[in-house]
Amino acid sequence: MGGLGKDMYDLVVPKTNAESRIVYQSDTGSPLGRVTLAGFLKNHTGIGPNMRILGSFAMVFLLHGSGQYRDARGIRRDLVTGDLLLVFPDIPHTYGPPSGETWDEFYVVFSGPVFDLWRKTKLLDPAAPVQHLEPVDYWLRRFDDAVEQGTDSLQRVCALQHALADAFAQPSAGRAPAFLAKAKALLEAEKEMALPAIARQVGLSYDNFRKQFTSLTGLPPAQYRATRRILKACDLLVAGSLQVKEIAAQLGFCDEFHFSRRFKQVTGHSPREYRRMLPKVR
């Protein structure tokens, strides 16, 4: 395990049938703090049934599945895909999916004076350990980039602070403004509407609409719409009945070149590469 104590590793990644992939691991730190461990757990059965004390802060971002968190302070929270769970160093806790089920998560373990200060000022609050974040892919990239960013511990701690600050600035689930659902529906409609017109439809100035939408979803309206169009493109590529240029036209791209460029920006592959990777249907 390198410099990371095996006892700590076993607390973070208990012996289960989960598939574990560590993306960062270190025992070095900075005067502000350190990021100790980060990675993915797939088909995880959670922590428990007995409560544990981790001895460090941790965040668990739920990528797929649902379950529950509870701790010795009497806090109990249901968890769903997109929930960000904070674990505190000295609070006994347990979490996981229902018995017989599993979930997928991305976790980061961290500690240090700067995070103790965040807790003291209630930026990190044990009374509010769960925050819901969408879209999940965007926030996963934010957290993954944060722990792999930079060449030293201080840069990594600062990057994680930035990501957490943005995450906890989001409104809690169930408190999103009424305009958001309508705006998403208009952005995802087959007939493309100009963004200033969408802003008028939801009763906001364009600048205010763009600012609020970006804050609530993590993506500017134009990028949100483009990402949703690419997801539709993936479905059409899987269906296999249309050529790439026909998909580009159906989704409103000006030509195949611009569609392919945008598709690769979002997925990492060109449309043709994506289609070649699909399993062959016999």
Residue 268 half-sphere exposure toward CB, CA atoms < 13 A = 1
- Per-residue pLDDT band at 184 (split at 50, 70, 90): confident
Please say if the pLDDT value at position 281 is more than 80. Answer: no
Terminal-residue alpha carbon distance, the chain: 44
Instruction: Report yes or no: 25 and 4 within 8 Å, Cβ to Cβ.
Output: yes
Tokens for 129, please give them: 């350990």
Q: How many CB atoms lie within 10 A of CB 120?
A: 9
Which residue type is seen at 245? K
Sheet holding 93-96, edge to edge: 47-52, 93-96, 66-71, 76-80
Q: For residues 77-105, give the mean pLDDT.
A: 93
pLDDT score at 282? 42
pLDDT score at 196? 94
Q: For residues 254-265, give the mean pLDDT.
A: 85
Q: For residues 81-89, give the mean pLDDT.
A: 94
- Residue 174, C-beta contacts closer than 8 angstroms, at least 6 positions apart: none
- 55 and 162, same structural domain? yes
Q: For residues 131-148, give the mean pLDDT.
A: 88
User: What average pLDDT does the chain have?
Assistant: 83
Picking from 168, 198, 231, the residue at the C-terminal end of a domain is 168
pLDDT score at 35? 92
In the numeric block, the tokens 């600048």 are attached to: 207
- 261 and 147, same structural domain? no
Q: For residues 63-85, give the mean pLDDT.
A: 91
Q: Which helix (H) or strand (E) holds 93?
A: strand 93-96
Tokens for 236, please give them: 């059409």
Tokens for 8, please give them: 């700590």
pTM of this prediction exceeds 0.75:
no
Q: Which of 5-19, 26-40, 186-200, 218-232 has the weakest average pLDDT? A: 5-19
- 70 and 10, same structural domain? yes
**Structural domain includes residue 57:** yes
pLDDT score at 86? 95
**CA-CA-CA-CA dihedral for 113, 115, 119, 123, to nearest 10:** 140
- 65 and 91, same structural domain? yes
- Per-residue pLDDT band at 278 (split at 50, 70, 90): low
pLDDT score at 59? 96
- Per-residue pLDDT band at 216 (split at 50, 70, 90): confident
Between helix 136-148 and helix 153-168 the angle, nearest 10°, is 160
Q: What is the CA radius of gyration of the chain?
A: 21
pLDDT score at 172? 55
- 207 and 140, same structural domain? no
- Going through 65-176 in order, the beta strands assigned E by DSSP cover 66-71, 76-80, 83-87, 93-96, 103-111, 130-132
Domain count, the chain: 2
- 225 and 154, same structural domain? no
- DSSP letter string, 212-277: HHHHHHSS-HHHHHHHHHHHHHHHHHHH--S-HHHHHHHTT-SSHHHHHHHHHHHHSS-HHHHHHH
**Structural domain includes residue 174:** no
Closest CA to 237 of 209, 211, 216, 264: 264
Please say if the pLDDT value at position 56 is more than 90. Answer: yes
In the numeric block, the tokens 């249901």 are attached to: 78
pLDDT score at 42? 93
CA distance 234 to 34: 39
pLDDT score at 151? 65
